């Protein structure tokens, strides 16, 4: 148990250092994983798509203008981190699984358009729907590989630990204008100076 506690601490510390540093960022990058940038333009396009789907900026977006951008960066980072964690363990989430999960939800919501609206309201644009399902299924696969359910506290903790380790291995760097990477929550936190906030 003591060894496991030490391992958890080491992984979280490594990931925290990766997220707090801004070294390694290339010009115009919102984040960098394994030397590959996530472009600021991709983040802006995602936010614009969401605003268009909502018919303009929401009240929440107006109150917290950097919120949608931070959510976009978090999702794009997690898409890459989950995919790498799954691949590193010899696991896979293929197009058939993604299509089946999406089709099931379309039926439950009353059609593709209704599902797209619901997902957009939750911060997932139309262009990111398949990636969102792939990420969610990947999280379930990671938990299942450890004999756990991602919906339980134990499974959630196992997945978060796996993702923290993967993020550290990918040498994740975040542009500080979008926040600070929190390895325990596996998300970006809003603690960032207002003059660095994304537009």
Contacts of 35 (CB under 8 A, 6+ apart): 24, 171
Q: Could you read off the pLDDT of 173-188 as tens digits, one per residue? A: 999 999 889 988 888 8
H or E stretch including 174? strand 173-174
Residue 67 contacts residue 198 (beta carbons within 8 Å):
no
pTM: 0.79
Contacts of 69 (CB under 8 A, 6+ apart): 43, 44, 47, 178, 198, 199
User: How many CB atoms lie under 10 A from the CB of residue 125?
Assistant: 22
What is the predicted pLDDT for the residue at 55? 64
């Amino acid at each position: 148990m003591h060894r496991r506690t030490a391992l958890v601490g080491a992984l979280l510390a490594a990931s925290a250092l990766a997220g707090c540093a801004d070294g390694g960022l290339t010009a115009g990058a919102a984040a960098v994983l394994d030397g590959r940038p996530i472009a600021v333009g991709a983040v802006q396009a995602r936010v614009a798509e969401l605003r268009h789907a909502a018919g303009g900026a929401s009240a929440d977006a107006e109150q917290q203008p950097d919120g949608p951008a931070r959510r976009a960066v978090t999702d794009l980072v997690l898409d890459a981190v989950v995919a790498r964690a799954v691949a590193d363990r010899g696991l896979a989430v293929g197009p058939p699984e993604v299509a089946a999960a999406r089709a099931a939800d379309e039926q439950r919501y009353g059609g593709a358009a209704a599902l797209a609206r619901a997902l957009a309201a939750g911060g997932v644009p139309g262009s990111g729907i398949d990636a969102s399902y792939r990420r969610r299924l990947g999280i379930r696969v990671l938990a299942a590989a450890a004999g756990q359910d991602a919906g339980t506290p134990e499974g959630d903790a196992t997945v978060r630990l796996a993702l923290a380790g993967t993020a550290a291995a990918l040498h994740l760097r975040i542009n500080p204008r979008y926040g600070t990477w929190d390895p325990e929550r596996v998300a970006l936190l809003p603690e960032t100076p207002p003059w660095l906030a994304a537009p």
